[in-house]
Each structure stands twice: as structure tokens, then as C-alpha cells.
Amino acid sequence: MRRSRYRRDMIGPAKFIIAILLFAAALSASAATGKVVKVLPHFLDLQGRHTPSPSLFDRDAYQAQLRKTPEKRSGVRFDIQWRGRASSPQVATLRVELRGMAKGNQPSETTLETEVLITGTGHWTKLTFDGEKYKSFGEITAWRVTLRSGDEVIGEQKSFLW
């Protein structure tokens, strides 16, 4: 007898409705979620190109040439594939942090960032590091890409040496 009374009290209609309302409130108040799916760092030549033709084979061969000959480079471009979800579209920050070695073995760091809109679908974003800042930065040794909603990191991908 005690057992059936316990079940009836615990699974009463009022408590069930309250549990559903609390669950719905928790879902609607949830923060944005996201993921950095892929990061493709590409060297740029003196004309600002990362490949001479649309062929992936040509792109990879050209990138190998640019890796071997730093004097033919004018910068680096990061092609970033990312995804995000939020209850309503919201602004987030896509950040690329770079570490390198300048002349004289001096460590150098810099940050590139842009604002993006989380809409629930996948996106590609390009961030370019070129010009005089690139030339004085030295060789890039490590990078980290983060997708941030406010101060919270909701997606990240980093190079092996980070």
C-alpha cells in the first residue's frame, strides 16, 4: 500500500507539468553552441593567390612550392569552416591566434578576428594575415582558431604545436 501511494505522489499530473515547464525553460535559456570543423592555412604568393588554378592538385603543389620559398610569399590566409547553433541568431567572434619566431629567434604573437553571425548552418570564413605585419612576424610555428560567444569558447581547433 505504501508503495503505490509513493508512486502516485511522485508522478502526479501537477509535478509532471512542472517538470516539463522547467525543462522547456532550461532549453530556451541555453547559450549558443558551436564547432570549428576545419582550418586550412594557405600561403599567398606575391599576387595574393593561394593557387594558380581551381584544381586541388595544383593548389597542393603550389603550396609546397611556397613553403620551400619564403621570398615568394606575401602572407597567409586561413579558410575556416565552422558551425553554430543558438535559439536566435546572435553575433559571435571568430579568432585566429598565431605564434611564431621572428628574426633573431624572438617569439612573436598576433591575433586576427572577425565577427560572425550564428544562424544554425555551416559557414566558411577567410581571415588573411599579410603585408608588413606578416613580413616582420617571422615564420608561423603554431595557430589556434576559436569561436567565441561573448567570453565563452564554444568551438576550437589548434595546430599540433599549440
Same domain flag for 74 and 122: yes
> Does residue 13 surpass a pLDDT of 90?
no
Query: Residue 87 corresponds to which amino acid?
Result: S
Three-state DSSP class for 52? Answer: coil
Among 16-20, 57-61, 66-70, the range scoring the smallest mean pLDDT is: 16-20
Same domain flag for 63 and 44: yes
Same domain flag for 39 and 93: yes
Same domain flag for 145 and 74: yes
Same domain flag for 98 and 38: yes
Same domain flag for 5 and 44: no
What are the backbone angles phi and psi of residue 156, rounded to the nearest 5°? Answer: -155, 145
> Does residue 20 surpass a pLDDT of 80?
no
Please, how many CA atoms are within 13 Å of residue 142, restricted to the half-sphere of its CB? 11
Tally of domains in the chain: 2
**Which residues, including other chains, have CB under 8 Å from residue 53's CB and lie 6 or more apart?**
59
Same domain flag for 19 and 55: no
Same domain flag for 21 and 49: no
Number of other CB atoms surrounding residue 101 within 10 Å: 14
Alpha carbons 108 and 31: distance in angstroms, whole number: 34
Among 11-20, 24-33, 115-124, 142-151, the range scoring the smallest mean pLDDT is: 24-33
Q: Where are the alpha helices (DSSP H) in the chain?
A: 2-10, 13-28, 56-68, 132-137
pTM of the predicted model as reported, rounded to 2 decimal places: 0.77
Residue 119, pLDDT score = 87
Query: Residue 74 corresponds to which amino acid?
Result: S
> Does residue 43 surpass a pLDDT of 70?
yes
Same domain flag for 63 and 108: yes
pLDDT band at 1 (very low <50, low <70, confident <90, very high): low
pLDDT band at 26 (very low <50, low <70, confident <90, very high): low
Three-state DSSP class for 13? Answer: helix
Residue 87, pLDDT score = 84
Same domain flag for 144 and 126: yes
Residue 123, pLDDT score = 93
Alpha carbons 162 and 147: distance in angstroms, whole number: 16
Alpha carbons 75 and 79: distance in angstroms, whole number: 13
Domain that holds residue 9: 1-30
Same domain flag for 12 and 52: no
